[in-house]
Structure 1
């Protein structure tokens, strides 16, 4: 009975089960059976220990994704796009895998054929009459007579059952907006990606909206800002003394705690509107240097030195500079009104106070 209950639990597939994915797993268990797709076979043990059923597959190798078809009615797509190109080929491969016909194992087909032979003799089950084949005769049925087969076998072979679209939640990024000059924006703001990384995210969003329009999936899109948690803070940067921008040149950044993000993604899986984007962001309105200062103060570290934008362009690496070129403040009204989300950490300071209290 315990095994039967386990098999009947709702299934959830997590594609790209990293830190946030594992936080989702902790919330899903034990009420759900969670499958985790990873491209690294070495992670199977870690994922199994977390309570998932690990699947090894690579979004860059379509043939490795055959087992995903019909596996779970809910999918959390947390995998990043490829590192090159303007299109997200990984999302394209995932959509194709989810839409593929589900393969039945040979033993299932053998059982179905056996049931068909018994039913043809009128022994068991519910029946349906189908048209006689053009050539040959069915097993156990005189030539020219319509074979009698189980409704679930013969009819399914003649007319495939329509599959309910998978509910999919995609972890996108607020980088799709590009630089907004510090303006306060909502989800109706047109996307204007400023780098190839953000272009690939826009590509994924468009693919998912197109797939939703043709009822292949029911996709909701979470646009995510900077994620932080106890294990995701800029401590190494502060200890290294990497500079931040002076206030006149600084940019507004947006944040979400990893635990709150996991809760948002799962809420979207049940209440997200198809094709709808939502800012998965907290209430903070901090400039980048302010954020670094709050973290430094909470951990008793020296604050980051300040430099002008011109100086930063000469001394900092390109990836860091790309974040320093985009400034925006996100509205999360849709998150609260449509999804009814109540954040555990509405502000970065709410989390950092717990750090300060723990250090005393």
Structure 2
């Protein structure tokens, strides 16, 4: 089970994969990935002919992150996204920005994205050029607990955790782009999985899951598909887009763990009641387990995007 995504693909209008180089018009435009983590690196790997600049926060792992970005033939840039000079540099770099950095959790109100929109619009007006198109990776946590009901991009937001509330605040800042002529695309992602993002350790440690009749519904998206979609909507999206970046096959959380356990021939997690599990897992894990929603991505379909992995089961079948 050592499958890795090594193909060179291009997304056609129907979202399928073709092993050929990118069209010239795509190769010429620079795409800046702000906050290049694992999903960002997968994006760089998937489109090797694209001109990428990938930013990362200076710190203890600076050299390792720089080397990883260079390995994918992208331009590494160590900057603090909270500083004015760094934001202005990012705006000046190219035509497109894919923002993957989370809001700053150490301050009460993070207005970084508000500044990004204002300065991008101002620079565009001064230089009489289009402002960069901005795709922002948010979270489906902004919907809060829907009690297992179906929701879509038009469902009112109901963020309950501090983490999700910070994302709502970030989205509100980006909506300023509507008034200022900056194209903005919001991608709300659920649980992200991939080759190295499966709950293997959780399963091996015997971390419990909820009883089936008390379990929470959730969706997922493969890191490859999230990277592809963030780039896809940046090219294909209109002035303002909101997409639920997820698969179309929600499952209960315990069933997801069972599916992974079976694929790797591991014992399935034990099942307990909500009252019992709450005492056995971390507060962060419980915040995920206490929110139940089934997510539909209407706008993803409207744009004609097709997932490489329509479900977790499809991905595990490839790995087997």
TM-score, normalisation: structure 1: 0.76
Which ranges of structure 2 fall in alignment gaps of 5 or more residues?
1-23
Deviation at 1:46, TM superposition (A): 2.2
SS in 1 for 2:32: strand
The match for 2:91 among 62, 66, 69 is 69
1:22 aligns with 2:69: no
The match for 2:153 among 170, 176, 187 is 187
- The answer (yes or no) to whether the contact 1:238–1:292 under 8 Å persists in 2 is yes
Which ranges of structure 1 fall in alignment gaps of 5 or more residues?
103-158
Deviation at 1:99, TM superposition (A): 4.7
Q: Deviation per CA, 1:91-130, whole angstroms, max 9, x where unpaired?
A: 234435545649xxxxxxxxxxxxxxxxxxxxxxxxxxxx
Distance change >3 Å, CA 195–CA 295, structure 1 → 2: same
TM-score, normalisation: structure 2: 0.85
The match for 1:87 among 87, 92, 109 is 109
SS in 2 for 1:322: helix
Corresponding residue of 2:316: 352
Q: C-alpha root-mean-square deviation of aligned residues, in Å?
A: 2.1
Corresponding residue of 2:9: none
Corresponding residue of 2:163: 197
CA distance, structure 2, for counterparts of residue 170 and residue 235 of structure 1: 29
Deviation at 1:166, TM superposition (A): 1.3
1:162 aligns with 2:128: yes
Q: Which moved more, 1:270-279 or 1:87-96?
A: 87-96
1:284 aligns with 2:249: yes
Alignment of 1:187-226 (within 5 A): 187-215=153-181, 217-226=182-191
Deviation at 1:227, TM superposition (A): 0.7
Aligned length: 292
The match for 1:309 among 274, 281, 286 is 274
SS in 1 for 2:291: coil
Deviation at 1:88, TM superposition (A): 3.3
CA distance, structure 2, for counterparts of residue 184 and residue 85 of structure 1: 33
Structure number with higher relative contact order (C-alpha < 8 Å, ≥ 6 residues apart): 2
CA distance, structure 2, for counterparts of residue 85 and residue 268 of structure 1: 30
CA distance, structure 2, for counterparts of residue 50 and residue 243 of structure 1: 38
CA distance, structure 1, for counterparts of residue 108 and residue 241 of structure 2: 22
Distance change >3 Å, CA 85–CA 325, structure 1 → 2: farther
CA distance, structure 1, for counterparts of residue 154 and residue 291 of structure 2: 18
* Largest Rg, 1 or 2: 1
Q: Deviation per CA, 1:262-309, whole angstroms, max 9, x where unpaired?
A: 221111011112222111111222100000000000000000001111
SS in 1 for 2:93: coil
Deviation at 1:71, TM superposition (A): 1.4
1:244 aligns with 2:209: yes
Corresponding residue of 2:31: 12
